[in-house]
Amino acid sequence: MLEKTGDRLRRGSKTKLRLRVVEDGRARVRPDSLATEEPMEMRLVSGGVRQTVAVTMRTPGADFELAAGFLYGEGIISSPEDIRKISYCVDADVDAEQRYNIVNVELRGGRDYDLRTLERHFYTTSACGVCGKASLEQLELRGCPVIPPGPEISAETIYSLPQKLREAQGLFEATGGLHAAALFDAEGNLLALREDVGRHNATDKLVGWALLERRLPLSDHIVMVSGRSSFEIMQKCLTAGVPIVCAISAPSSLAVDVAREFGMTLVGFLRGSKFNAYAGFERIQLEPRANHR
């Protein structure tokens, strides 16, 4: 059984302050809330060796899901059984202010983890200049399978997703400054949503939740992100087995390449009763009247 320690003590996702609002040449003071942004260091612990594998700027909250989702998406772990314990770093030599910005992921013993290889893998696949062709080849070398056919989703279901996502974004309503990644079933029912200042982090939190809840692979599901879709978003969804990815804004060219290469449906510019289908149109069911136009 996976042991999770200290997540109840995580820092707040909102930071309160007072500001001055200037309107019609006059200033007034009022309270406000901002999305908290702090660094989080992820450390792997295996065989007595502790090594930092990533540092990300994130909104505190669901930190353990973020770490698990990131490690799964990067191919470092393949199941929740690979993790023995996730905990905050409360070592005496760590400044008290930073203890909840460091997450230790202890891997189970008796398995072959080459942490040096994992470190190279992380820096290679981060968004710092690796070419698109190499990125796609790397997914193939990792053994990421092509997503099988199905499910078929009605256009009406797809139209309904942005409103459902927005209504569930509690932190966005309070701060106006967060991205979201949401998981829906094939009927458009919202199953889970995670928020963060970063789109990638929100997706990692969502995948991490699914991993720790033993819901992977996410076949017959839809993931929707509040911003644009990128290679990293598609990579994380692909490794989680997601067949349909929707986004409010545009995809990148490499995101489209991933979708077409691995049999995923990619929807962008989803607003109102209109969207663009960049790949996998065979999963989208049009209304009968639309077929006769």
180 phi, psi to nearest 5 deg? -140, 150
Q: What residues act catalytically? A: 128
The H or E element that residue 180 is part of is: strand 179-185
- What's the rounded Cα separation, in Å, for the pair 132 and 255? 10
Q: Which fold has domain 153-291?
A: Cytidine Deaminase; domain 2 (3.40.140)
Which pLDDT score is estimated for 144? 83
Contact yes or no for 183/223 (Cβ under 8 A) = yes
- What's the rounded Cα separation, in Å, for the pair 190 and 159? 14
What are the extents of the domains in the chain? 3-135, 153-291
Mapping DSSP to helix (H, G, I), strand (E, B) and coil, where does residue 41 land?
strand
The H or E element that residue 137 is part of is: helix 132-141
- Per-residue pLDDT of 242-273, as tens digits, reads 999 999 999 999 999 999 999 999 999 999 99
Which pLDDT score is estimated for 263? 97
- What's the rounded Cα separation, in Å, for the pair 213 and 208? 8
DSSP codes joined into one string, 210-254: HHHTT--S-TTEEEEESS-B-HHHHHHHHHTT--EEEESSPBPHH
The H or E element that residue 86 is part of is: strand 83-88
* No. of helices (H) and no. of strands (E), the chain: 9, 15
CATH 3.10.20.10 fits 3-135, yes or no: yes
Contact yes or no for 211/192 (Cβ under 8 A) = no
C-beta neighbour count of 180 within 10 angstroms: 25
Residue with tokens 């979201």: 180
Fold matches, 3-135 and 153-291: no
Which pLDDT score is estimated for 214? 97
Which pLDDT score is estimated for 198? 86
Per-block average pLDDT, block size 10, for the chain (293 residues)? 43 76 83 82 85 88 95 90 91 68 88 54 38 61 84 96 88 63 96 91 96 96 93 94 96 93 96 94 79 44
- Per-residue pLDDT of 11-34, as tens digits, reads 577 778 788 788 788 888 888 777
Which pLDDT score is estimated for 92? 54
Which pLDDT score is estimated for 4? 47
- What's the rounded Cα separation, in Å, for the pair 69 and 31? 35
Which pLDDT score is estimated for 194? 94
Which pLDDT score is estimated for 111? 65
Residue with tokens 């979708």: 259
pTM (2 d.p.): 0.84
Which pLDDT score is estimated for 136? 67
